[in-house]
Amino acid sequence: MTEDFDVRLVEDVKSYTPDPAYRKNAWMPDYQKAYAEFMKNPEKFWEAQAKELDWIRPWDKVLEWNYPYAKWFTGAQLNITLNCLDRHANNSRRNKVALIWRGEEGRERIFTYQKLLSQVCRFANALKKIGVKKGDCVCIYMPLVPEQLIAMLACARIGAVHSVVFGGFGSAALNMRINDAGAKVIITADISIRRGKAIQLKAIVDEATVDAPTVEHVIVLRRREPLVDLQEIELDFHEMMAGMPDTCEPEVMDAEDPFFILYTSGSTGKPKGIVHTCAGYMVGTHYTSKNVFDIKENDTYWCTADPGWITGHSYIVYGPLAVGATVFISELTPDYPDAGSYWSLIEEQKITIFYTAPTAIRMFMKMGEEWPDKYNLSSLRIIGSVGEPLNPEAFEWYYRVIGKKRCPIVDTWWQTETGMIMITTVIGEPMHPGFAGKPLPGVIADVVDKEGKPVKPGTGGLLVVKSPWPSMLRTVYKDDERYRKYWYTIDGVYTVGDLAVKSRDGYIMILGRSDDIIIVAGHNIGTAEVESALVSHHAVAEAAVIGKPDEVKGNSIKAFVILRVGNKPGDRLRQDLLHHVRSTLGPIAMPHEIDFVDKLPKTRSGKIMRRVLKAKEMGMDPGDVSTLEE
């Protein structure tokens, strides 16, 4: 696991320092000072962050740490929507634009803070009317439209626990998430629109709810004429809102009440329902939105993620709205109608802060500079990246072609589990391509060996977080054992699951996952999930899945399949298997290659050695194979 790196690799790195004006005007003008203040008194530091927000009742204690369980701001009462909506709508930001949505063919919808609050309250009242109560789980499976955000905020308003499922997941993946969380209501849409084509979202919900005993209602946003017919338990999104009052008393939430569940891939076939709670999540996402993206009153902020991922939860919805930002969202893909779509939107909307993923950046690199060069990108002030390592080549391109050597890049490292950004280079600090940066004030992180001892600069090791932080996951839904594993893999610290290396001056480079998770185009895919989808096909006896480096997507999925007797390998079966994975897990988990094989490398105890498959595939030394059978 711990590979030795050439120390020069981390010491001779390039350095870029943005214009000093950035630092001077930033919310966090002095990283060192802020970090020192945090270390002097961590609780006081977080308390000061919490004081920037509105509370129904203040906390008695900032932190109760009972390893590995943390409670933050105990005794406090709050509702996050008071900070994301009312605080702005009832004050000077009443008529400020909260949300701009752009669909295909120039369609645009704009919501001021006042209007967004009214819509959220009306939908919250509609949910209440059909019996949704505090603590009930609501599954949101929607395209990237304003109603998706309204649905999330309405759940938050009434204390319902949302579980947002990305609209690109297939029916089996959706069904598993509905049943694991025991969702009472599903909110969906008839279609989502991708590259000019309609995708039948509701058809996937129909399939996913055949066996979903807890579901009482399905709410459908009907976007297309003629309107789809609704069945008995189905309700129309906008009809439900019609006639509802536009005010709704926020549910009083305790600091540690569950806020939402979000599923993420793990190293078993079953995804983990990451549980976040109310107060700490609010404080962590507000603090990082404000200080990492340096959001100011006149910014127009665009994060290209989908609210179905944690990036969307924290940095489209809750964080930026808590700060009072103008948030831009778009249902367009980066390559439709052409490879200039994102740049044309930046020019059209005068976007000032842009946050996207390395896989998109690498795709843009491939398409050529002529696309961004056609547009005026001079409104941009800060550009960001998240989801996987931003390799130096991609950094350089992003910095030069998009940021015009003017905009600082924030390469932000974090996870569904962390809730908030943990490591980055704060605006104004020197940037080193390839390195995400240092732990934010509020975070203690390090690179260690298997025993938890810090490794020498330049040596690879495991990334760990050494103390609790407010927006950390509190448990894995109905599986606390998996939660404890994060904190007991190495005693006393939170083991992230990533390999990293640190430079002498404390900058951290993320190298990739240390477990059986493959990051494909920024999406976490568990090898076990894909394997069990393959094995659920009648022709498959056994399957093993590996990640292969891919120029654009970071990794691609390769599957090795052993067929049951009586099945013939061939292109037809290959297509059939691909279709099967697509319809169960969704297009994001589809293998790029399938090889039919007679046997798989296994340990004597029967565990598939994916490492051996991968080494063979890439023409590398498989390393220690002493446990390999025969």
Report, in Å, the least distance between residue 411 CB and ligand WT7.
Answer: 5
Give the DSSP H or E segment for 287: helix 278-292
Looking at the Cβ atoms of 185 and 410, the one nearer to ligand WT7 is: 410
Closest CA to 387 of 414, 366, 425: 414
Looking at the Cβ atoms of 120 and 310, the one nearer to ligand WT7 is: 310
Looking at the Cβ atoms of 111 and 309, the one nearer to ligand WT7 is: 309
Interface map 410-429 toward ligand WT7 (x if CB under 6 A): -xxxxxx-------------
Report, in Å, the least distance between residue 511 CB and ligand WT7.
Answer: 8
Q: Which of 86, 254, 388, 529 forms a contact with ligand WT7 (CB under 6 A)?
A: 388
Site size for ligand WT7 (CB under 6 A): 21
Should residue 311 be labelled a site residue for ligand WT7 when binding is judged by CB under 6 A?
A: yes
User: What is the end-to-end Cα distance of the chain in Å, rounded?
Assistant: 24
- Contacts of 615 by beta carbon, 8 Å cutoff, 6+ apart: 621, 622, 623
Give the DSSP H or E segment for 217: strand 217-221
Should residue 120 be labelled a site residue for ligand WT7 when binding is judged by CB under 6 A?
A: no
Helices (H), 472-606: 480-488, 527-535, 571-584
Looking at the Cβ atoms of 121 and 509, the one nearer to ligand WT7 is: 509
Looking at the Cβ atoms of 320 and 340, the one nearer to ligand WT7 is: 320
Report, in Å, the least distance between residue 357 CB and ligand WT7.
Answer: 8
Angle between helices 171-181 and 571-584 (to 10 degrees): 30
Report, in Å, the least distance between residue 276 CB and ligand WT7.
Answer: 12
Query: Interaction with ligand WT7 in 528-587: which residues (CB under 6 A)?
Result: none
Report, in Å, the least distance between residue 388 CB and ligand WT7.
Answer: 5
Looking at the Cβ atoms of 188 and 311, the one nearer to ligand WT7 is: 311
Q: Which of 153, 436, 464, 590 forms a contact with ligand WT7 (CB under 6 A)?
A: 436
Task: Using the structure block, give the residue that is written with the tokens 């209501």.
Answer: 185
Report, in Å, the least distance between residue 308 CB and ligand WT7.
Answer: 11
Query: Interaction with ligand WT7 in 458-517: which residues (CB under 6 A)?
Result: 496-498, 510, 513
Asked if 327 contacts 99 with a C-beta cutoff of 8 angstroms, the reply is yes
Burial category of 61 from C-beta neighbours within 10 Å (exposed 0-12, middle 13-18, buried 19 and up)? middle
Report, in Å, the least distance between residue 69 CB and ligand WT7.
Answer: 21
Give the DSSP H or E segment for 547: strand 540-550
User: In whole angstroms, what is the distance from residue 523 CA to residue 529 CA?
Assistant: 13
Rounded to 5 degrees, what angle do the CA atoms 209, 215, 220 make? 75
Give the DSSP H or E segment for 253: strand 253-254
Interface map 332-371 toward ligand WT7 (x if CB under 6 A): ----------------------------------------
- Contacts of 505 by beta carbon, 8 Å cutoff, 6+ apart: none
Q: Which of 524, 527, 555, 584 forms a contact with ligand WT7 (CB under 6 A)?
A: 524
Q: Which of 191, 244, 310, 329 forms a contact with ligand WT7 (CB under 6 A)?
A: 310
Looking at the Cβ atoms of 273 and 497, the one nearer to ligand WT7 is: 497
Provide the token pair at 142. Answer: 């929607």
Q: Which range of residues in 16-24, 94-102, 407-415, 558-566 is near ligand WT7 by CB under 6 A?
A: 407-415
Looking at the Cβ atoms of 70 and 518, the one nearer to ligand WT7 is: 518
- Contacts of 433 by beta carbon, 8 Å cutoff, 6+ apart: 13, 14, 16, 390, 392, 395, 396, 399
Per-residue DSSP letter, 84: I
Q: Fill in the amino acid letter for 599.
A: K
Query: Interaction with ligand WT7 in 59-118: which residues (CB under 6 A)?
Result: none
Looking at the Cβ atoms of 89 and 420, the one nearer to ligand WT7 is: 420
Query: Interaction with ligand WT7 in 260-289: which residues (CB under 6 A)?
Result: 264
Looking at the Cβ atoms of 439 and 601, the one nearer to ligand WT7 is: 439
Query: Interaction with ligand WT7 in 209-268: which residues (CB under 6 A)?
Result: 264
Asked if 280 contacts 257 with a C-beta cutoff of 8 angstroms, the reply is no
Q: Which of 187, 282, 386, 401 forms a contact with ligand WT7 (CB under 6 A)?
A: 386
- Contacts of 278 by beta carbon, 8 Å cutoff, 6+ apart: 78, 79, 80, 253, 254, 255, 256, 257, 258, 259
Should residue 143 be labelled a site residue for ligand WT7 when binding is judged by CB under 6 A?
A: no
Report, in Å, the least distance between residue 177 CB and ligand WT7.
Answer: 15
Report, in Å, the least distance between residue 407 CB and ligand WT7.
Answer: 17
- Contacts of 575 by beta carbon, 8 Å cutoff, 6+ apart: none
Beta strands in 37-168 (DSSP E): 61-66, 69-74, 77-78, 97-102, 108-112, 137-141, 161-164
Residues that bind ligand WT7 (CB under 6 A): 264, 310-311, 386-389, 411-416, 436, 496-498, 510, 513, 519, 524
